[in-house]
Structure 1
Amino acid sequence: MDAVLHARGVDLLYGSQRAVSGADFALHPGEVAAVMGSSGSGKSSLLYCLAGVLAPTKGKVVFDGVSFSKLTDDELSTLRRERFGFVFQYGELLPELTVEENAALPLRLAGQRKAQAHAAAAEVLERLGLAELKQRRPSQVSGGQNQRVAVARALVHRPSVVFADEPTGALDSANAAAVLEEFLHLARSQGTAVVMVTHDAAVAAHADSQYTMTDGVLSQRVTV
């Protein structure tokens, strides 16, 4: 099966500092890949290159057969909005919106009508055990529940790939395990591939394939 997303020889420089060095990466449809590394290893920088947020200094990233370098800024923005999802360490929910409004946001930004978007969001929230909280605001629910809302937002539009940056890093161990299990189960059930970066071997153990990043160098992949 062809890779839906791949990188070849990706370098990323911040001034004279090399954050990513010659990275090769491949992700297949529905696959969950983990990139492990300590703080400052370059794993988040690689993630944002793979997501088209940062442009590599050298090398290329290709999604669905098209190199990011061939796309305009507007085309890249549309790609990220419609084909990608994102989960961040601290959720990054909009505090002025309800749980349901936050979860529906990708669909609303894509132009879907409010009723349809909210119905889709409500369905995903129910699958994550959040149906009774959909009218609350982020400040009115727990940290674990906030992160489940972030997962719902990332998956509501059935993206091809979700990029997760330390998706359970801000949670205690019990909440982290529960959120991760629900996140990956929902992603796999709808055929969404996942790239997650983590410093936690227990998180990486849930992936189909694992990479390790050290001083900007990505190791050979290991299939689990």
Structure 2
Amino acid sequence: MGEAISSSEILSAAGVDLSYGTQLAVRGAHLSVARGEVAAITGQSGSGKSSLLYCLAGVLPVARGQVRFEGRSLGDLGDDEISTLRRERFGFVFQYGELLPELTIEENTALPLRLAGQRKRPALAAANEVLGRLGLEGLAGRRPSQVSGGQSQRVAVARALVHRPTVVFADEPTGSLDSTNASAVLREFLDLARSRGTAVVLVTHDPAVAAQADSRYTMTDGVLTPRGSL
């Protein structure tokens, strides 16, 4: 018998360790994220915050402890189940957008839906709806090389949210932007995520970014410390 699961808890970590060879990158991390909650993890480069994020997303296997999604331990899932989970229930936003240069903006945005088997026309319609909510409706037919850095990052946000994931994992999503664009992208990202009831786990080194979260954690030398809720 495990611990009781909160009705609102969607994602949790309990005593999670992660090792790279003999180096312990994450040490006994505990974290809980509810539906619709934005949780921010701050820390210096090399503190282990991105490593923990990838453990939570099922990308990196934990050495000890458990990561649970909807009460199920990711360690109990097979490779196919993990892949399906990441494709259909999780969304990802990376620091540099990571858009595919050969696809248009609307095709990049629709990619999670297409990978999940949705037909092209409804996938593009859904993509354009999200692009419109982010002020990008005029860019649908352009290539990533034809838009600005701030616009590209908004597209990455749209792509992460288009399939209405349960959780979005964001690794320094505004780190490559100037302060004006960073603030605009983050506000749109969090507003849209909250309006859809999507939980967000946000990794950042910027206290101003973390201040917009519902709960905050600090990572220092692999140790995660809660900083309370707003």
TM value normalised by structure 2: 0.96
Matched residues in 2 for 1:189 and 1:52: separation? 25
Of 164, 169, 178 in structure 2, the residue corresponding to residue 172 of structure 1 is 178
Deviations 1:185-222 (A, max 9, x none): 00011110100000000000000000000000000241
2:27 — aligned with what? 21
1:54 — aligned with what? 60
- Tell me the amino acid that sits aligned with residue 215 of structure 1: D
1:85 — aligned with what? 91
2:50 — aligned with what? 44
Could you list the runs of 4 or more consecutive aligned residues of structure 1 that deviate by over 6 angstroms after TM superposition? none
1:145 — aligned with what? 151
Matched residues in 2 for 1:65 and 1:10: separation? 16
Matched residues in 1 for 2:21 and 2:58: separation? 19
- Tell me the amino acid that sits aligned with residue 37 of structure 1: G
- 2:157 is equivalent to residue 117 of structure 1: no
1:12 — aligned with what? 18
- 2:217 is equivalent to residue 211 of structure 1: yes
- Tell me the amino acid that sits aligned with residue 100 of structure 1: E
Matched residues in 1 for 2:164 and 2:113: separation? 10
Matched residues in 2 for 1:180 and 1:113: separation? 30
Matched residues in 1 for 2:75 and 2:172: separation? 27
Secondary structure of 1:74's counterpart equals helix
Provide structure 2 residue ranges, at least 5 long, that are not aligned to the other structure: 1-6
Q: What percentage of aligned pairs have identical amino acids? A: 73
- 2:188 is equivalent to residue 220 of structure 1: no
Secondary structure of 2:152's counterpart equals helix
1:30 — aligned with what? 36
2:78 — aligned with what? 72
Secondary structure of 2:99's counterpart equals coil
Provide structure 1 residue ranges, at least 5 long, that are not aligned to the other structure: none
Residues 98-113 of structure 1 mapped to structure 2, 5 A cutoff: 98-113=104-119
Count how many residue pairs are aligned between Structure 1 and Structure 2: 224
- Tell me the amino acid that sits aligned with residue 179 of structure 1: V
TM value normalised by structure 1: 0.99
Q: How big is the shift at 1:65?
A: 1.2
Of 135, 141, 146 in structure 2, the residue corresponding to residue 135 of structure 1 is 141
